[in-house]
Structure 1
Amino acid sequence: MKTPFTEAEITRRKPVWIGLSDVFLDTDVSLFDARLSKTLKESGFDADEVEKILREEVGPVFFTNLTVVAGEWAGWPDEWIVSEVTKYLSKTEVLRIAQKLRSKPVVDQLVKSDWLRVKTLTWGAT
C-alpha cells in the first residue's frame, strides 16, 4: 500500500499507532497511561508530533469505537491496528480529509481529556 510515509517512518510510527489506539477503547483508558507514556517517550517524537499523529493518523481510524453503544474495550491486535492505519493513509487525500473531519469532534474531546493527561505524564507541563 502506498502511504505518505517511507517504510522507515512507518516502522517508527507503528508503536505510536498501537499505543494511541488505546485511548479510543470503551474503557477507563487511564489504566494504560504509564505504558502509553513509555511508548511515546521511546518513540523520539515530541508532544506536538504525537498529537498530530493522534489527530491525523489514529483518530480518523478509531474514533467510531467511541460513537457506538458497546465499543471495543479489550483492545485490538497490533497487526490489525497497523493494517487499518496504513489502509487509511493509503486513501486519496480527499477521502482522508473527509474522514478526519468526521472524526474531529470525538478526537477534540479526547485531546481535552485523555491526551492532555498523557501528554503531561510523558513530557511534563508544557
Structure 2
Amino acid sequence: MSHTFQNPQKRVKSAKKQIYVADVDDNSKIDAYTSVHATITEGLGVCGVANLVKEYMNSADDFTICDSKGLEIVDSFETKDVEFWKIPSRKVYAFKCDLMKIKQKHESSVAKRKRNEDATDRKGI
C-alpha cells in the first residue's frame, strides 16, 4: 500500500523581488527612499506588481513601474512570466510622481549625446 501524498493543485511559480520606491528630484535624478520585497506570482504582470507596491506602502496613490533608467515597464506576455522578474541584475522602481520629469531627463540625455556625437563628427571631417 502506497502512502504518497498527491496534491491536486498545481504548484504556483513565484519570485521574490526587491522594488525600490522612488521619486524624481528637481535635477531629474531618481531618488529611492525605501524598498518593498514583493512576491510576484505567475501571470501577475506590471499592473499587479504596481498594486502590490500600493498595498505594501498603504497608499492611495497609484504607482508606475519603471526600470533603472526611468523607462516605464509595460504589461506584456514577457512581464507576466516570473522569469522576467527573477533576473537579479534588473532593478525595478516604483514611482508615484509624474513620469514627465523622467521622460524629459531621458530625452535630454539622448539629445545631448547626439549633439556631442554630431560635434565630434564635424571635427573629424
Q: Normalising to structure 1: TM-score of the pair?
A: 0.30
Larger RCO: 1 or 2 (CA < 8 Å, sep 6+): 1
Compare the two structures and name the one with the higher strand fraction.
2
More helix per residue: 1
